[in-house]
């Protein structure tokens, strides 16, 4: 490797470009061929030492990982961008157009980040700190450029540099595709957490999978939603660095053999290789830059069957390669087929196996020789983001027992002290269950370990509750076992047999001492008890039901902590989802973890969700709070409440909102062709399309509004209704038929309403295609009313509600998820509440099943209106029919749209009245921003670090 012989304070002119080198090693450490190429061109060098603002220290000096703050000026940044356009090209050299400008700019930013990134890694290694590892199937990052330069505090310098080069920063940033690594709140939460971990200087890494095609790109056509593959990697990803020297073997299938010494070995089967791709995550106003490691899958070259290929059997030749690569093709592949289920399990195990092998390699390297495995939980914390990474538990035990030689007891104890679990749902379908037969086939050694964990759990349950009351024991085992509908282990059966024999002996002794007069009565009573026991209590599996492995139960048993993600959700987790575990722990069960069940209300990063995506509002907040420190010390947002009645603040607030609304209107015209009035209320519901999130309730409310408008004169309409632009966005899972019907319904309503000359600007309905983080960053600052209207008790948290509130958007919603806490903080008068509460839902469903529910006439009116074909020729009978009946799959209005409809419609009338008073509305908006200070991911991460991971911030020297 050659280094150009120029100091850090020199300027270099190359073929008309002027490169100012901050540091020769930073920009000109390249292969000799680049050096020779430069020498052949016209070079002029002059000393510009006086222009340098900061000197960069080599982090390797004296073995220390230290560096000074780097503050390059716009000229040196422009030189860096030009350098990458010239010497690390992904594009032809003729033009410096926007796509090329983006990649060159991103690579320039990455150069700056790499210095901090490497220093952070070296310092963690040197200090041997305890580190948290966050495992998630999703990381919904969004665009990285603006976030990175914002965190580095270089936005102004990069804007100036790009302007010198003929481009605007906003246009260049718009060329970046969203990283297709997630779907919804689960993945966005993970990305907010990484931002906060870096900003707060907590030692941590994220682990995920590098999906080639993501979930899917959503197209909206006349037929509704259509899915095509994402192309986010088509032009390369300038943020990632492939680590070809970091790869691990991952095994599937095969068999388990017992060796002479009693140990087990997993042999044979299918082997793939997981290769690391690293993405830097820079903190805000700090040197700390942590790592997101994504795994991509492949096989060794010798797996390519060259003989078959040359013989013309190309499919056979490439079979192993394709089997490995497809693991990381798609996020959440359809799992209705057995092949789909196998692929999902392969994805989950690849994430767990590769990540744990990497984590253990870090631990061993930092520990030196000999390794004290008892210290593993003191240096490692593994957080499972939902049940997808559950296989971490048996995989860690497998590695410790089979590869490191530890005993079962040691491995089980280490695992339970290392791993923790975040629950994100109360929906039964999201509490993963996997077929035992499928797991046995794919991961035979792990099934053995899961059986051992289940056996350990059963003995613990018996120790706690005894065997005297077999009905109680049967109930506890049914609710708490990891293995569902699977025979009891032999050790447990033997225990129950011994208990029965002991009970029989005790009974005989009692009979011998009993009086002869009562002997016949006692015998008759014993016979009756015997008969009852035989009729009621059985521990045999039901041959008509499948044998399943309950992953959520495995998480609860195998982890040190279980947390919900909002106060109401955490209470449901304790009182419903895992109530048997919680009650047991509340008595004497597992005394090692008295605080096993916790709440960690989700949060979002203010950097991305106010500071960078809403600069107009950010300037106002800084002006009126008197500091720009509110992005780190969020409690300073609360001081806005003191000025909520101030007319100057209100005027500035409305102007900022109007500018953001104009941007949204321009975006909607570009993406959908619809022209909307920026003076109308912007009413937004953007999130995954799911029945429990009740986009159907929203659009049926809009249909009711439209119908009533049509029945009025123009004057009556204008007097009664506030003009609204109703905006929807979100993806329905490709195989979720009912959700896709809802998308189709929304778009059909929009087509009818938006072309109705009688209605004009009074009502518009727009579905934004391919909703993602970048779209959210545009829509949220321009929104005024945001809908979070899930059936109460079914939304775990919902972090988008926090983002909207932070940006001065007022919420309409149920008492569900984080809505409960947001309403407490922003004030009841500044939140539009409707609908049934969580504790009422079970009773309302029972009432429905008993045929006692009487629908509101307005609800029936809307259904009839839809069935009349007002919104086109599509047959909406299945959709409307799902809201009818008293029981049955896909019917009986399980999500209580009909029950909450009248309350929802009446609440929307209150929204109209409030919006007419713009002074009142603006005050509500300000108080929403002021009250949202508690919903920062910084706060959430502090709580995780303190209560679960037990890690401390680590500042680089």
Q: What are phi and psi of 245, to 5 degrees?
A: -90, 0
Catalytic: 322?
no
Cα dihedral 563, 565, 571, 576 sign: negative
| Element at 383 (helix H, strand E) | strand 380-385
**Separation of alpha carbons 636 and 617, rounded Å:** 15
> Which residues, listed in sequence order, are joined to residue 133 by a DSSP beta bridge?
205, 382
Residues 192/712, Cβ–Cβ less than 8 Å: no
Q: Count Cβ atoms below 10 Å from residue 497 Cβ, excluding itself.
A: 10
Both structure tokens of 426:
């109360």
Quick one: 882 exposed, middle or buried, by C-beta within 10 A (0-12, 13-18, 19+)? buried
- Which has the closest alpha carbon to 795: 498, 282, 427? 427
**Separation of alpha carbons 770 and 214, rounded Å:** 12
Residues 849/886, Cβ–Cβ less than 8 Å: yes
Strand pairing category for 419-422 and 380-385:
parallel
> Which residues, listed in sequence order, are joined to residue 249 by a DSSP beta bridge?
273
Catalytic: 799?
yes
**Separation of alpha carbons 897 and 696, rounded Å:** 8
Quick one: 671 exposed, middle or buried, by C-beta within 10 A (0-12, 13-18, 19+)? middle
Q: Which residue has the tokens 């793939």?
A: 272
Residues 21/10, Cβ–Cβ less than 8 Å: yes
Catalytic residue among 120, 387, 799, 940: 799
DSSP codes, 279-332: EEEEPTTSS-EEEEEEEEEE--GGGS-HHHHHTT-HHHHHHHHHHHHGGGT-SS
Catalytic residue among 212, 446, 661, 688: 688
SS3 label, residue 546:
coil
**Separation of alpha carbons 805 and 925, rounded Å:** 8
**Separation of alpha carbons 140 and 731, rounded Å:** 14
Catalytic: 538?
no
DSSP codes, 427-485: -GGGS-EEEHHHHHHH-HHHHHHHHHHHHHHHHHHHHHH-SS-HHHHHHHHHHH-SEET
Q: Which residues of 10-41 are buried (b: 16+ CB within 10 A; e: fewer)?
A: bbbebeebebbbbbbebbbebeeebbeebeee
Residues 814/835, Cβ–Cβ less than 8 Å: yes
Catalytic residue among 210, 293, 693, 923: 693
Q: Which residues of 834-859 are buried (b: 16+ CB within 10 A; e: fewer)?
A: bbbebeebeebbeebeeeebeeeebb
Catalytic residue among 217, 608, 741, 803: 803
**Separation of alpha carbons 375 and 378, rounded Å:** 5
Catalytic: 688?
yes
User: Per DSSP, which regions of 179-269 are E strands?
Assistant: 204-209, 217-221, 224-228, 241-252, 255-258, 264-267
Both structure tokens of 323:
């089997």
Cα dihedral 599, 602, 607, 611 sign: negative
Strand pairing category for 270-282 and 289-298:
antiparallel
DSSP codes, 717-781: HHHH---EEEEEE----TT-HHHHHHHHHHHHHHHHHHT-TTTGGGEEEEEESS--HHHHHHHHH
Catalytic residue among 424, 574, 657, 744: 424
Catalytic residue among 574, 687, 731, 845: 687
Cα dihedral 870, 871, 872, 877 sign: negative
SS3 label, residue 53:
coil
Residues 169/102, Cβ–Cβ less than 8 Å: no
- Residue 299: alpha-carbon gap to chain centroid: 29
Catalytic: 671?
no
Q: Which residues are catalytic?
A: 424, 687-688, 693, 799, 803
């Amino acid at each position: 490797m050659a280094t150009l012989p120029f100091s850090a304070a020199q300027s270099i002119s190359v073929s008309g470009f002027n490169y100012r080198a901050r540091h020769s090693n930073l920009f000109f450490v390249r292969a000799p061929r680049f050096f020779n190429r430069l020498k052949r061109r016209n070079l002029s060098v002059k000393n510009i030492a006086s222009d340098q603002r900061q000197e960069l220290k080599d982090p390797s000096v004296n073995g220390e990982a230290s560096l000074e703050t780097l503050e390059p000026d716009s000229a040196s940044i422009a030189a860096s961008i030009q350098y990458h356009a010239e010497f690390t090209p992904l594009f032809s050299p003729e033009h410096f157009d926007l796509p090329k400008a983006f990649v060159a700019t991103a690579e320039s930013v990455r150069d700056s980040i790499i210095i901090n990134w490497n220093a952070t890694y070296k310092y963690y290694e040197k200090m041997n700190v305890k580190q948290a590892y966050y495992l998630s199937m999703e990381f919904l990052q969004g665009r990285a450029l603006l976030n990175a330069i914002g965190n580095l505090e270089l936005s102004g310098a990069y804007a100036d540099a790009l302007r010198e080069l003929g481009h605007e920063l906003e246009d260049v940033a718009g060329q970046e595709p969203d990283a297709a690594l997630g779907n919804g709140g689960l993945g966005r939460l993970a990305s907010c957490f990484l931002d906060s971990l870096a900003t707060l200087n907590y030692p941590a890494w994220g682990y995920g999978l590098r999906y080639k095609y993501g979930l899917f790109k959503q197209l909206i056509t006349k037929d509704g939603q259509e899915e095509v593959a994402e192309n986010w990697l088509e032009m390369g990803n300038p943020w990632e660095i492939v680590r070809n020297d970091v790869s691990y073997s991952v095994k599937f299938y095969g068999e388990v053999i017992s060796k002479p010494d009693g140990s087990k070995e997993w042999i044979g089967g299918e082997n793939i290789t997981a290769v690391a791709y690293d993405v830097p995550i820079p903190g805000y106003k700090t040197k700390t830059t942590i790592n997101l490691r994504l795994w991509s899958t492949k096989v060794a070259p010798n797996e390519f069957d060259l003989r078959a290929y040359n013989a013309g059997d190309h499919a056979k030749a490439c079979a192993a390669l394709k089997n490995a690569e497809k693991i990381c093709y798609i996020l959440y592949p359809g799992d209705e087929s057995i092949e789909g289920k196998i692929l999902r399990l392969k994805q989950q195990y690849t994430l767990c196996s590769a990540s744990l092998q990497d984590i253990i390699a870090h631990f061993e390297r930092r520990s030196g020789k000999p390794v004290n495995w008892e210290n593993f939980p003191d240096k490692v914390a593994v957080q499972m983001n939902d049940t997808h990474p559950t296989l971490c538990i048996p995989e860690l035990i497998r590695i410790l027992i089979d590869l490191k030689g530890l005993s079962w007891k040691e491995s089980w104890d280490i695992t339970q002290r290392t791993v923790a679990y975040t629950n994100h749902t109360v929906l039964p379908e999201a509490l993963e269950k996997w077929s035992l037969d499928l797991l046995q086939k794919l991961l035979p050694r792990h099934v053995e370990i899961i059986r051992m964990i289940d056996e350990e759990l059963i003995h613990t349950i018996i120790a706690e509750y005894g065997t005297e009351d077999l009905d109680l024991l049967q109930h506890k085992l049914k609710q708490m076992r990891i293995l569902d509908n699977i025979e009891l282990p032999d050790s447990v059966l033997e225990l129950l047999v011994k208990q029965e024999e002991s009970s029989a002996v005790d009974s005989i002794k009692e009979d011998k001492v009993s009086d002869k007069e009562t002997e016949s009565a006692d015998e008759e009573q014993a016979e009756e008890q015997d008969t009852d026991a035989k009729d009621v209590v059985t521990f045999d599996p039901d041959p008509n039901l499948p044998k399943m492995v309950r992953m959520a139960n495995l998480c609860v048993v195998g982890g040190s902590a279980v947390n919900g993600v909002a106060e109401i959700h955490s209470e449901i987790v304790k009182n419903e989802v895992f109530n048997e575990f919680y009650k047991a722990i509340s008595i004497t069960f597992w005394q090692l973890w008295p605080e096993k069940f916790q709440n960690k209300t989700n949060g979002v990063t203010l950097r991305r969700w106010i500071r960078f995506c809403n600069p107009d509002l950010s300037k106002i907040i800084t002006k009126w709070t008197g500091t720009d420190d509110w992005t780190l010390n969020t409690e300073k947002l609360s001081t806005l409440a003191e000025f909520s009645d101030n007319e100057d603040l209100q005027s500035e607030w409305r102007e900022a909102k109007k500018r953001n609304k104009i941007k949204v209107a321009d975006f909607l015209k570009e993406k959908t062709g619809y022209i909307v009035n920026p003076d109308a209320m912007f009413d937004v519901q953007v999130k995954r399309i799911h029945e429990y999130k009740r986009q159907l309730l929203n659009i049926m409310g809009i249909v009711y509004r439209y119908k009533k408008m049509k029945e009025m004169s123009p004057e009556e309409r204008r007097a009664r209704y506030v003009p609204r632009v109703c905006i929807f966005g979100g993806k329905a899972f490709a195989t979720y038929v009912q959700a896709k019907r809802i998308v189709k319904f929304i778009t059909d309503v929009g087509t009818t309403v938006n072309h109705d000359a009688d209605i004009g600007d009074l009502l518009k309905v727009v579905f934004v295609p391919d909703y993602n983080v970048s779209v959210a960053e545009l829509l949220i600052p321009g929104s005024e009313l945001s809908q979070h209207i899930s059936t109460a008790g079914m939304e775990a948290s919902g972090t988008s509600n926090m983002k909207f509130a932070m940006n001065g958007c007022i919420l309409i919603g149920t008492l569900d998820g984080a809505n409960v806490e947001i309403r407490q903080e922003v004030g009841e008068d500044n939140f539009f509440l409707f609908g049934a509460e969580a504790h009422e839902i079970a009773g309302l469903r029972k009432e429905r099943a008993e045929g006692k529910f009487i629908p509101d006439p307005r609800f029936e009116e809307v259904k009839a209106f839809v069935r009349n074909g007002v919104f086109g020729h599509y047959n909406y009978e299945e959709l409307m029919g799902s809201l009818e009946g008293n029981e049955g799959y896909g019917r009986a209005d399980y999500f209580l749209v009909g029950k909450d409809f009248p309350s929802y419609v009446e609440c929307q009338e209150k929204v109209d009245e409030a919006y007419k008073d713009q002074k009142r509305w603006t005050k509500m908006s300000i108080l929403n921003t002021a009250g949202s200070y508690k919903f920062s991911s910084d706060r959430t991460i502090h709580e995780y670090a303190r209560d679960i991971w037990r890690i401390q911030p680590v500042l680089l020297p």
